[in-house]
Amino acid sequence: MISFQQETDRALFENALAFAKKQVGALVKKHPDFYPMYTKKGKWKHEGAAWTHWCDGFLPGMMWIFEKRSEEKEAKVWRENAIRYSKPLEPRKLDREVHDLGFIFLSTYYRWYQVTKDESLRKVLITAGQTMGARYRDKGQYLRSFVSEESLFIDIMMNVGIVFYAARETGDKKLREIALRHSYTTRRTMVRGDGSTAQEGLFDTKNGEFLKQATHQGERGDSCWSRGLTWAMYGFATAYEYSADPHFLETAEACTDYFLSHTPNDGVPPWDYQASAESRKQVDTSAAAIAAAGMLRLSRMMQDPVKGHLYWSTANQIMRTLCTSYLGDKTKGWEGILKGGVYHMRKDLGVNESVMWGEYFFCEALDRLLRRV
Ligand code: GLY
């Protein structure tokens, strides 16, 4: 039986999806072929620094979601746009400068491949996974971050999925071992006993010894930057999906339980859980959207139906909050979908703005919820 609450949620989520389509459509019209990262005072195009080049898949990724969630005529237009914005990303399958090829290709070529099953798309995904695998440092057993040899980021858990994918598709055992080892090392060195996470781990490159936890985007090396936590929730769920290793599911659950016990009831976390009381007033809605998308994935992996329902209903609650309190629809001239995201607090980039990954995972969570409610 469909409940009244479910009907209300469906209307809320359908409305948010329609708004997301409207905002993306307007962006494409105003700035054709532009791949934004974060807004400045609600506007996508500005001279603000990028720090690193990791976001280009999110805009076409949303278009692939819209294509799936539209009637035929509208879907055709979204498909044309999605292809137009996905194609220029292909050369990045060989990009050794970033640790983000999962973000770039799983949101685009993977979705595209699901639609057409065109072999050339699968090949792009495989090459991107192999390029990611080349980041592996045997001493320390991790995929190095874009910053330096000695550095591992929690964010890379969102990109190890494409290494698992390439290993599976090619039957390459060595590549699979790389993805597994990276995930074990991240679990051992970056996830703490209480389920909280560090953003960066530093290693001795001579002997591979783990030295200390550090951060770039969090408050401190020993604090819990909320987006990093949500990357871990989602990323370890993906590692479990590919490997069936229960340790990764345990880790995803531990991180999720930290999120559940430390996040305010509306489901939107502060940008860093240990920032000062004043600074903690700044939320990060992108972390909330990633948490919702991650919990929806996790909910279907739970053996325990009570826990599965807890994750699903929490994700639902987060999305209700985002749809009722954070949509940009009430702010005249705001070009993004979701307000209240944070990119880089320390560098003062994209603070209390719309951010492309927040938009993308918000749409992914909407898509997952609308399939079920
Ligand atoms: N470094 C990727 C992020 O901002 O989450």
CATH of the domain at 141: 1.50.10.10
Q: What is the pLDDT of residue 353?
A: 98
pLDDT of 1 above 80:
no
372 pLDDT band (50/70/90 cuts)? confident
Tell me the residue range of the domain where 243 lies: 4-370
- Residue 316 CA to residue 12 CA, distance in Å, equals 11
6 pLDDT band (50/70/90 cuts)? confident
Residues with Cβ within 6 A of ligand 1?
155, 217, 227, 343
pLDDT of 15 above 80:
yes
8 pLDDT band (50/70/90 cuts)? confident
User: Which atom from ligand 1 is nearest to the alpha carbon of 344?
Assistant: 4
Number of structural domains (the chain) is 1
How does pLDDT run across 89-114, given as a tens digit for each residue? 999 999 999 999 999 999 999 999 99
* Percentage above 90 pLDDT, the chain: 97
**Backbone angle region of 267, left / alpha / beta, with phi > 0 → left and psi within -120 to 50 → alpha:** left
- The DSSP bridge partners found for residue 151 are 202
- Could you give the 3-state DSSP secondary structure of residue 191? strand
Q: What is the pLDDT of residue 22?
A: 98
User: Which atom from ligand 1 is nearest to the alpha carbon of 357?
Assistant: 5
How does pLDDT run across 27-81, given as a tens digit for each residue? 999 999 999 999 999 999 999 999 999 999 999 999 999 999 999 999 999 999 9
Q: What residue's CA is closest to ligand 1, atom 1?
A: 155
Among candidate residues 39, 112, 8, the one with its CA nearest the CA of residue 334: 39
- Contact by Cβ (8 Å): 252, 160: no
How does pLDDT run across 308-335, given as a tens digit for each residue? 999 999 999 999 999 999 999 999 999 9
- Contact by Cβ (8 Å): 286, 357: yes
Q: What is the pLDDT of residue 134?
A: 98
Ligand 1: centre distance to CA 156 (Å): 10
Ligand 1: centre distance to CA 343 (Å): 7
Ligand 1: centre distance to CA 98 (Å): 12
Q: What residue's CA is closest to ligand 1, atom 2?
A: 155
User: Which atom from ligand 1 is nearest to the alpha carbon of 343?
Assistant: 4
Mean pLDDT for 216-229 is: 98
User: Which atom from ligand 1 is nearest to the alpha carbon of 153?
Assistant: 1
Q: What is the pLDDT of residue 278?
A: 98
